[in-house]
């Protein structure tokens, strides 16, 4: 029965990811249609067509391989610039792609301004940003539902555990007389103490306290706590230095100040402000992960080939994300409400990452088209400022080699991650 639950929730989660992808494409399609761009195709998946239907001028449908989706906007490439131009392989390549698209463009499309390249810069930006923005909205709504309805476990300034000693031998857990005391034990911190200040700085959250401890390295620490309703100033100690997970990249260890305490975790409800704060933290972590993405992919491939276990912070494919969701659903240690909250939070984090990933300013990602529109606007403004002839539309077809290179890398990375998630899946429990 547990296996059935895991598989069912994994498949359900996969379907929700694909629904997020479908909504991403809706985010492009709706503003494009509102601005008059002809949209001939809207599909979920890739490969041969599984099913489709035509409504108006748009064909809607599903492809056989449900690993993404696309919406086709006519006129992504402007016409070839007038005048003589030296022929190069790049220009021939761009013209080939341009001719393929323009073979389906009608004179009415041009006359009625129904092509994407003809639209104003602000319209192009809205169309291209519409997809990632949809993912951001999905992430916000999901996280708001969890935060306001169920709550989020957040660390408090009240201490739940005090480590008494530093044990160098990993084979035992009990302290001996030879083990040095932790800074927390030396200061006399007790379970139930609420930290009021650290080195004279009033404490309002555990995150603030943790940051102060980390930054203190092995410096002196003056700690004031509230104990049994009384304010107690503890003896001064020196914090120790330990290898701790980096805030923005938990897979990386950094040397930081350490006290030897664990905070009380409390289920806390909140509203939009708390959600936006959480999304900002997740955004910073995702940006760091994106910067390391090629290296992380290589490490996953090497680990798969050499049989190394997967790290909890490794990148995963939508297959791996579905497996994780299934593991959460099948866990006997989590109450039902927490399972659904974790399920929704995981889906929200994937949508947030999809949004940020698509904002990367490289074609064929949405950010590449956004960057192209902004470059065209700047070039035209500069020409007007210096009273030069209008340079015309930016020839986005010239970026096709970059687009194919990026697409090829993403295809290889996607296949590698799917294989790794099948051969060596991440295990939460």
DSSP letters spanning 262-320: EEEEEEE---HHHHHHHHHHHHHHHHHHHHTHHHHHHHHHHHHHHTPPPPTTS---HHH
Helical ranges in 103-120 per DSSP H: 107-111
What sign does the CA torsion over 125, 78, 102, 91 have?
A: negative
Question: Is residue 337 located within the same domain as residue 396?
Answer: yes
* In-domain check, residue 44: no
pLDDT at 82: 66
pLDDT at 1: 44
Average pLDDT, the chain: 91
Distances (CA, A) of 214 to 91, 233, 254: 55, 21, 10
* In-domain check, residue 60: no
Residue 85 banded pLDDT, cuts 50, 70, 90: low
Where is the domain boundary, 268, 299, 322?
Answer: 268
Question: Is residue 398 located within the same domain as residue 290?
Answer: yes
Question: Is residue 117 located within the same domain as residue 165?
Answer: no
Residue 87 banded pLDDT, cuts 50, 70, 90: low
* In-domain check, residue 52: no
**Residues known to be catalytic:** 25
Helix (H, G, I), strand (E, B) or coil at 30: helix
Where is the domain boundary, 224, 246, 268?
Answer: 268
pLDDT at 95: 80
pLDDT at 330: 81
Question: Is residue 84 located within the same domain as residue 138?
Answer: yes
* DSSP letter, residue 170: T
Calpha distance 70→353 (Å, rounded): 18
Question: Is residue 278 located within the same domain as residue 292?
Answer: yes
* In-domain check, residue 54: no
Count: domains in the chain: 2
Residue 332 backbone dihedrals phi, psi, to 5 degrees:
-85, -10
* In-domain check, residue 53: no
* In-domain check, residue 207: yes
Question: Is residue 282 located within the same domain as residue 406?
Answer: yes
- Tell me: pLDDT of 126 over 80: yes
Q: Which residue, among 329, 333, 351, has the nearest Cα to 341 in the 3D structure?
A: 329
Question: Is residue 20 located within the same domain as residue 102?
Answer: yes
Chain position carrying tokens 């659904």: 340
For 386, residues 6+ apart whose C-beta sits below 8 A from its C-beta are none
Contact 416, 301 (CB under 8 A): yes
pLDDT > 90 in the chain, percent:
70
Question: Is residue 102 located within the same domain as residue 242?
Answer: no
Token representation of residue 183: 């800074």
Calpha distance 157→210 (Å, rounded): 10
pLDDT, tens digit (0-9, with 9 covering 90-100), for 191-209: 999 999 999 999 999 999 9
Where is the domain boundary, 223, 253, 268?
Answer: 268
Question: Is residue 15 located within the same domain as residue 83?
Answer: yes
* In-domain check, residue 398: yes
* In-domain check, residue 58: no
Question: Is residue 366 located within the same domain as residue 285?
Answer: yes
Residue 307 banded pLDDT, cuts 50, 70, 90: confident
Question: Is residue 275 located within the same domain as residue 179?
Answer: no
Here the CATH number for the domain that contains residue 248 is 2.30.42.10
**Mean of the pLDDT values across residues 9-31?**
94
Question: Is residue 165 located within the same domain as residue 137?
Answer: no
- Tell me: pLDDT of 4 over 80: no
**Mean of the pLDDT values across residues 10-28?**
94
Domain range for 277: 1-38+73-151+271-429
**Mean of the pLDDT values across residues 79-92?**
68
Token representation of residue 373: 């529109």
């Amino acid at each position: 029965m547990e296996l059935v639950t895991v598989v069912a929730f994994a498949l359900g989660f996969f379907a929700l990811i694909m629904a997020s992808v479908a909504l991403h494409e809706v985010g492009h399609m709706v503003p494009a249609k509102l601005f008059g761009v002809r949209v001939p195709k809207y599909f979920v998946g890739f490969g041969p067509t599984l099913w489709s239907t035509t409504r108006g001028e748009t064909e809607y449908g599903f492809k056989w391989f449900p690993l993404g989706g696309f919406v086709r906007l006519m006129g992504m490439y402007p016409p070839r610039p007038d005048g003589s131009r030296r022929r190069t392989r790049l220009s021939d390549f761009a013209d080939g792609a341009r001719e393929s698209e323009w073979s389906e463009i009608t004179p009415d499309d041009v006359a009625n301004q129904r092509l994407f390249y003809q639209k104003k810069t602000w319209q192009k930006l809205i169309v291209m940003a519409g997809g990632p923005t949809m993912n951001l909205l999905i992430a916000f709504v999901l996280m708001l539902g969890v935060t306001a309805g169920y709550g989020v476990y957040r660390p408090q300034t009240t201490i739940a555990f005090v480590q008494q000693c530093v044990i160098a031998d990993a084979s035992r857990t009990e302290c001996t007389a030879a083990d040095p005391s932790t800074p927390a034990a030396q200061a006399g911190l007790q379970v139930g103490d609420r930290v009021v200040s650290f080195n004279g700085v009033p404490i309002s959250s555990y995150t603030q306290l943790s940051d102060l401890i980390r930054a203190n390295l092995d410096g002196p620490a003056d700690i004031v706590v509230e104990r049994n309703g009384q304010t107690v100033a503890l003896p001064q100690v020196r914090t120790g230095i330990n290898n701790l997970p980096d805030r923005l990249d938990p897979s990386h260890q950094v040397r930081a100040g350490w006290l030897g305490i664990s905070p009380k975790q409390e289920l806390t409800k909140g509203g939009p402000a708390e959600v936006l704060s959480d999304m900002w933290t997740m955004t910073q972590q995702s940006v760091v992960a994106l910067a390391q993405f090629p290296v992380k992919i290589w490490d996953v491939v090497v680990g798969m080939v050499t049989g190394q276990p997967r790290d909890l912070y490794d990148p995963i494919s939508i297959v791996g994300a579905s497996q994780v969701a299934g593991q959460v659903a099948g866990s006997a240690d989590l109450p039902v409400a927490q399972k659904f909250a974790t399920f929704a939070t995981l889906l929200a984090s994937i949508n947030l990452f999809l949004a940020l990933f698509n904002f990367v300013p490289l074609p064929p990602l949405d950010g590449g088209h956004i960057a192209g529109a902004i470059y065209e606007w700047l070039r035209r403004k500069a020409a007007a400022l210096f009273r030069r002839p209008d340079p015309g539309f930016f020839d986005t077809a010239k970026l096709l080699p970059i687009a194919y290179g990026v697409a090829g890398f993403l295809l290889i990375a996607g296949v590698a991650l799917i294989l790794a998630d099948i051969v060596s899946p991440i295990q939460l429990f």
